[in-house]
Chain A
Amino acid sequence: GIQVEQSPPDLILQEGANSTLRCNFSDSVNNLQWFHQNPWGQLINLFYIPSGTKQNGRLSATTVATERYSLLYISSSQTTDSGVYFCAVGFSGSRLTFGEGTQLTVNP
C-alpha cells in the first residue's frame, strides 16, 4: 500500500517562531489532507490540498504532486498550535492513509 512519512517526528518551538513540517508519500494521490489533533483528541481539518498552494491565516500548505511531497508552514507560532499534525493521503476512492504525525510543542 501507499507509504506516508512525516518529518520531523517532534518539534519544540518558542512562541513566535516559524516552522515547516514535511510529508512524503510513495504514490500518486487524489486526496491529501493536513490535520491538527488537539490534546483532547479532536482532528481538525487544516487543508485539503492534493496539489497546489493554499493559505489560511498563519498557516499555509504546498503540495508538489509530481515530486510526491507536501509542506505545512506555521508562522508566528502560538501555544495553541501545540498538538500533533497529521498528513493523510488517498489514491483510490475514499481510503485515507495517515503518516505517523509531527508532535509540535510551542513554549511561551
Chain B
Amino acid sequence: DTEVTQTPKHLVMGMTNKKSLKCEQHMGHRAMYWYKQKAKKPPELMFVYSYEKLSINESVPSRFSPECPNSSLLNLHLHALQPEDSALYLCASSPLLGGKKPYEQYFGPGTRLTVT
C-alpha cells in the first residue's frame, strides 16, 4: 500500500476563519511533508517532519502552523489566510529508515484551498 490520504479534497474559507488540513499514511514512513502548489507551477516545499520533529520550515508565514501528532498523521492549521494563499496543498511521505529508497516521496491527492 503506497497511499497517502488527505482531507478535505476542497476547502473554501474566509480570511477570518480557522481551518485544518489533514494528511495520513500507514506505510510506516518517518518523514512527512507539506507542499504548496500554485496553478501552472511546481510544488514548493513548506515543512518537513522527520521522526515527528519539525526539521525544515521554508520561512513559511506563521498563519500556517504544522503539527505532527504521531508518525502517521500530519496536520496543517490555517488562520487569517490571505486570498493569495489559495492553492493546492499537497502532503507527502518518505520512509527514511534503511532500504534502497529512503528518500522516495509519495504524494497524497491534495486539498484545493480557496480563500475568499
Residues of A within 8 A of B (CB): 30-31, 33, 35, 40-43, 45, 48, 86, 88, 90, 93-96, 98-101
Residues of B within 8 A of A (CB): 2, 31, 33, 37, 41-45, 48, 50, 55-56, 88, 90, 94, 96, 101, 103-107, 109-110, 112
Which of chain A's residues have a CB closer than 8 A to the CB of B105?
33, 45, 88, 94, 96
Which of chain A's residues have a CB closer than 8 A to the CB of B110?
41-42
User: Can you name 9 extra interface pairs (CB under 8 A) apart from A45-B106, A94-B56?
Assistant: A42-B110, A43-B107, A45-B105, A86-B42, A86-B43, A98-B42, A98-B43, A98-B44, A101-B42
Contact of A42 among B31, B43, B45, B107 (CB under 8 A): B107
Which of chain A's residues have a CB closer than 8 A to the CB of B33?
94
